[in-house]
C-alpha cells in the first residue's frame, strides 16, 4: 500500500456508492479519475474527490512516486451509523416508522505497479 484515503459519514447510500467503487476497482488512478468525470451517477463526485485525495497523499508520503503507476488496489464501502437525521413517518393506527437515510464510509487504497 502506497497511500490511502477515507471519507467517513458521506451522505450517500452504500448501495449507490458501491456501484461506483465496483466500477473503478483495479483500474489505474488516472483512468479512474477520467472515467468518473463522465459518469452520471450520484456517487461519482464522492469517489472522484477521494481518489484525488489518495493520489495527493501518495505524493506527500513519497515524493519520488510515479503518479501514472498508481492503481486502486482496495476500495470498499461500508454502512455508517445515521446519527443526525432521525426522522419519523406516520403510519397506520397511530404508529410511526423510521426514515432510513443512507450514510456511508468509503475507503480507497492505492498501490504501485
Q: Are 4 and 72 in contact (CB under 8 A)?
A: no
pLDDT tens sequence across 8-51: 999 999 999 999 999 999 999 999 999 999 999 999 999 999 99
| pLDDT for res 12 | 94
> What's the total number of domains in the chain?
1
pLDDT band at 101 (very low <50, low <70, confident <90, very high): confident
Residue span of the structural domain in which 8 resides: 3-112
| pLDDT for res 2 | 87
* The three three-digit cell numbers of residue 3, written as one number: 497511500
Q: Are 103 and 17 in contact (CB under 8 A)?
A: no
Pairing label, strands 104-112, 3-10: antiparallel
Nearest to 35 by CA among 72, 79, 5, 76: 72
| CATH number for the domain harbouring residue 66 | 3.90.470.10
Length of the chain: 113
Average pLDDT value for the chain: 92
Of residues 87 and 15, more confidence is placed in: 15
Q: What is the pTM of this model?
A: 0.87
Amino acid at each position: 500500500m502506497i497511500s490511502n484515503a477515507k471519507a467517513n459519514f458521506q451522505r450517500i447510500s452504500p448501495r449507490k456508492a458501491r456501484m461506483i467503487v465496483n466500477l473503478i476497482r483495479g483500474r489505474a488512478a488516472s483512468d479512474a479519475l477520467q472515467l468518473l468525470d463522465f459518469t452520471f451517477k450520484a456517487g461519482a463526485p464522492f469517489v472522484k474527490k477521494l481518489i484525488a485525495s489518495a493520489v495527493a497523499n501518495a505524493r506527500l508520503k513519497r515524493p519520488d512516486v510515479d503518479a501514472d503507476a498508481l492503481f486502486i488496489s482496495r476500495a470498499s464501502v461500508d454502512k455508517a451509523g445515521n446519527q443526525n437525521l432521525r426522522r419519523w413517518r406516520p403510519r397506520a393506527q397511530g404508529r410511526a416508522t423510521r426514515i432510513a437515510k443512507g450514510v456511508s464510509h468509503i475507503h480507497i487504497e492505492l498501490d504501485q505497479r
